[in-house]
């Protein structure tokens, strides 16, 4: 049995799920998802939200918290030095950097517990069709979102994602500037006839102040259901993303063969490298 820890917001959950599916495909063993991170409020200080993969057609089950202790003994009364004598043979693998680590897909023991963010499409590129099927939304869009979807499909639609909010208090994250978005809009305008921008953000006040052209629509109806926003993003013909795994997936799941995807050159200002997160085909500004 292999276990993959799920943590963070929806974009991170998608990356971790894709890695877990890659494990299942490679080793043909049972793979379960550990969602205990969402049950422990102390591990979620930034309030990234709840476990949300259950809104999609995922193909993996979650491990029960008591069963999890059997394999990892995390949180048990047994001292760390003695745990190896009580649990089944388990290897704990931790992703060491934000780059593709092919050795993580090399089987080393019968049971392995994986923890990381796995933010590279290289882990799951060979099963990408399965990933896109698994990440189809189960829940039907409500009337307001259906109207937006009709507009998105009828127009030369461009999703534009602005991530501020929590990023403003986290200096290691690069908050995309107004200049970045202006350059991205100019790039699209020069290549797409009559584009219409659908803007998604967690800072609607800032967006309303700076984005008010006639060919712009601010999507504000899904503040408590961001998976609806993601569904709309992926149906846009083109995407301007923030340095956010949320809009990364909105762009990656876009099935338009002629899509233009624009992403920021600087993804992260901290020590972790993210060499593999952006596709070579995407435009970096």
With beta carbons less than 8 A apart as the criterion, state whether 4 and 16 touch: yes
pLDDT digits (tens, 9 = 90+) for 88-130: 556 677 776 668 888 888 866 677 889 999 999 999 999 999 9
Global model pTM greater than 0.85: yes
Q: Are residues 14 and 33 in the same domain?
A: yes
Number of domains in the chain: 2
Cα 145 to chain centroid, rounded: 21
Nearest to 113 by CA among 85, 88, 94: 94
What does the chain come to in residues? 285
For position 75, what pLDDT does the model report? 52
pLDDT above 70 covers what percent of the chain? 86
Give the helix ranges, DSSP H, for 123-177: 128-134, 143-154
For position 73, what pLDDT does the model report? 57
For position 168, what pLDDT does the model report? 80
Domain holding 277, by residue range, is 143-284
Q: Are residues 94 and 188 in the same domain?
A: no
Report which DSSP code applies to 171: T
For position 268, what pLDDT does the model report? 83
Task: Give the Cβ contact number of residue 29 at 10 Å.
Answer: 13
Q: Are residues 221 and 268 in the same domain?
A: yes
Structural domain ending residue among the three candidates 84, 110, 134 = 134
Q: Are residues 101 and 182 in the same domain?
A: no
Distance, in Å, from the CA atom of 184 to the CA atom of 67, rounded to the nearest integer, reads 48
Q: Is the pLDDT of residue 230 over 60?
A: yes
Q: Are residues 229 and 252 in the same domain?
A: yes
Q: Is the pLDDT of residue 45 over 70?
A: no
Q: Are residues 277 and 148 in the same domain?
A: yes
Q: Are residues 123 and 149 in the same domain?
A: no
Distance, in Å, from the CA atom of 170 to the CA atom of 60, rounded to the nearest integer, reads 33
Q: Are residues 9 and 80 in the same domain?
A: yes
Structural domain ending residue among the three candidates 106, 134, 162 = 134
Task: Give me the DSSP letters along 27-52.
Answer: H-S-EEEE-GGGT-GGG-TT------
For position 18, what pLDDT does the model report? 98
User: What is residue 263's three-state secondary structure?
Assistant: strand
pLDDT digits (tens, 9 = 90+) for 170-194: 777 789 999 999 999 999 999 999 9
CATH of the domain at 151: 3.40.50
pLDDT digits (tens, 9 = 90+) for 67-91: 887 766 555 555 666 655 555 556 6
């Amino acid at each position: 049995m292999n276990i993959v820890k799920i943590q963070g917001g929806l974009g991170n959950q998608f990356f971790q799920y894709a890695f877990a599916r890659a494990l299942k495909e490679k080793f043909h063993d049972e793979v379960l998802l550990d969602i205990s991170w969402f049950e422990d409020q102390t591990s979620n200080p930034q309030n990234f939200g709840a476990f949300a993969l259950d809104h999609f057609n995922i193909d993996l089950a979650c491990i029960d918290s008591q069963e999890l202790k059997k394999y990892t003994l995390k949180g048990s009364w047994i001292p760390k030095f003695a745990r190896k004598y009580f649990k089944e043979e388990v290897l704990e693998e931790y992703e060491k950097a934000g780059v593709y680590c092919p050795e993580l897909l090399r089987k080393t023991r019968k049971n392995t517990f994986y923890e990381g963010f796995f933010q590279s499409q290289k882990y799951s590129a060979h099963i990408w069709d399965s990933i896109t099927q698994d990440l189809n939304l189960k829940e039907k869009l409500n009337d307001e979102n259906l109207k937006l979807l009709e507009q998105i499909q009828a127009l030369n639609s461009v999703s534009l994602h602005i991530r501020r909010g929590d990023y403003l208090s986290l200096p290691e994250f690069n908050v995309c500037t107004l200049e970045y978005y202006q350059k991205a809009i100019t790039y699209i305008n020069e290549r797409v006839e009559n584009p219409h921008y659908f803007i998604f953000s967690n800072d609607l006040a800032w967006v309303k102040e700076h984005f008010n052209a006639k060919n712009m629509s601010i999507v504000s109806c899904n503040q408590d259901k961001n998976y609806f926003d993601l569904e709309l993003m992926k149906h846009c013909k083109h995407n301007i993303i923030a340095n956010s795994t949320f809009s990364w997936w909105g762009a990656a799941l876009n099935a338009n063969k002629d899509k233009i995807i624009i992403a920021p050159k600087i993804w992260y200002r901290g020590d972790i490298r993210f060499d593999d997160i952006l596709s070579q085909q995407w435009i970096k500004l």
